[in-house]
Structure 1
Amino acid sequence: MRFLGHSTVRLELGGRVVLTDPVLTARVGPLSRVVAPPAAQAWRDADLVLVSHLHGDHLHLPSLRLLPSATVLVPRGAGAWLRKQGVTLVEEIAPGETYTDGDLRVTATKATHSGHRWGPRLTHGPQAPALGHLLTANGSSVYASGDTDLFPEMAALGPLDAALLPVWGWGPNLGPGHLTPRRAADAVGLLRPRLAVPVHWGTLALPGIARTARMRRLLVEPPREFAAAVAEAGHDTEVVIAPPGAEILVPAPKDPS
C-alpha cells in the first residue's frame, strides 16, 4: 500500500493494482498541492480506480484521463455523465453491490456525505450516492471509507486488516459529512482494523491561506490527533501516519486456525 496524498492510495490486492480517488496533478481546481505530485510509476499501471463520490477532489477528471487503461468504478448513476467527459472504461456500483475482478472483490458501502458534484445545496448537475469500498482478496480486507461521517453500520464491516479513514480535508474548517480526528478514532472502535491509515490530509490547500499559522498546523496535526485519540480509547489498532508518497506494509491476514 502507498499513500499518494489526499484520498489517493495505491493498493495491490488480489493480483490487481487499485487506486482510490486519484488526484495525481499539481492542482485541483482552485486548490494547489503543498507536496509534490506522485511519480508516474506509482499510478500508471493501475488496473482499477475506485471513486467514492463526485466531488472534484475525489472524482478529478484530469487525473482520470491519465489512466485510460484502468476501469473506473463509480457510484451508480454517474457512469453516463463520466463517459461524456471522455472517460470510457466505466462501471457503476451501489451500496451493497459487489464488483469482482479476478480474486479481488469490491463491495460498495454506505457513506454519509453529499453525493452532488457541486455540493450539498445545489440541485442541477450530476448526482449519485457517496460510497465507501470494502476490498477483499485471499483472506485480506481493506476498507476505504471515502468522505463520510460516522455511521453505526460501520460495525458490520469489521474486523478488518486495514482501514483508510479521512481525518481532515483541504481547508481551515470541515463541513458536514466528514470525520474529525476524534470521530475517525470512534470509527476505529466500530471497524476494529488491525491497521488504520489516516488519509485526506496534508496535501491540498487554497493558495491564499496555505501559509497561515492555522493552515500550516492543519496540514500536519490531524493525523497525530487521530493517533492520540485511538491510543486514548485503548483500541487494539496500529495507526500508521504516512506522509504523501510513503509506503505502508499491510499486515498479512490472520491464520484462521
Structure 2
Amino acid sequence: MLHFLLIALLLLFTGAAFSYFTPHDPLHVNMKERILPANSEHWLGTDHLGRDIFSRIAAGAKTTVGTGMLILAAALMIGVPAGLVSGYIGGLFDRIFMRVVDAFMAFPDYIVAIILSGLLGPGLMNLIFAIVMVKWVGYARLVRGTVLSLKQKDYVLLARINGLSSVRILWKHILPHVAGHVLVLATLDLGKVILMIAALSYIGLGAQPPAPEWGAMLNDGKAFFYHSPELMIIPGLCIMLVVLLSNVAGDRLRDKYDVKNAKGGLQ
C-alpha cells in the first residue's frame, strides 16, 4: 500500500515542485531561439515561440495533474455524501435521486463535458466545473449500491437497535467499508480525468494560451509535427505515463480490495 501512496504523492507534488525549480520561465518568448534541439541550456529544446519545453512540461504537470486531482476531490465531495444518503434513506428520495443519476449517465461523459464546456466558454475553471458535473455521478452510484447491501448487515441493524444516530452509523459502520471501493475507482478515474483535461484543452475549451498545459501543448505543436515532432511527442508521453501509472495503481488496488466492478463505475 505504501508504494501506491508514494505514487499519489509524487503525482500531486511533482508539478508544484517543478514549477518553482524550472530552469527557465515557461512563459518567456524568445523568437531568436525558436525550435531549437535539446542542448545543455534547453534540456528538451524550445518550441515555436522559443519557450523552454522542459520548463513548460514541468509547469504543465502542475496544471494538468493538479487540476485532475482537484476535479477528483470535488467529485468525491459531491458523489460520496449523495450516494451515502440516497442508499441509506431509500424510498422516494432514492428513486428520484437515481433518476437524476441516470439522466447524467445517459450520455457519454466526454460528450456531456464538451457540451458543458462549450456552453460555459473556454477556460480552466469552466473545464473543472464541466468535468466535475459528469464525474460525481459515478461515485454516487457506486456508493449508493454499496450502501444498499451494507445497511442490511447485522452490525448495522444492531447499531440501530442500540440507538446510534444515522450519521454515526454512516460514519462509523458504513463509510469505512465504502472507502476501499471509492479509492479504487478514484485511482482508475485519475487517468481518464487527465485525458479529458488534455482533450478539452487540445480543442481549445480548457487552459488558454499562454498557460502551460499538456493538452494545449499538443495543440501548439501539431502545426510543426513533421519538422519538430518532439513538440507533440514529449507532452503526449507525459500524459501517457501518468495515465499508465494511475491505471496500474488502480488495478493493483482493485485486486487488493477485491473490487470486481470498479471499472464498471467508469462507464
Classify the TM-score, shorter chain. Answer: under 0.3
Q: Counting helix residues as a fraction of each chain, which structure ranks higher?
A: 2
| TM-score when normalising by structure 2 | 0.23
Higher Cα radius of gyration? 2
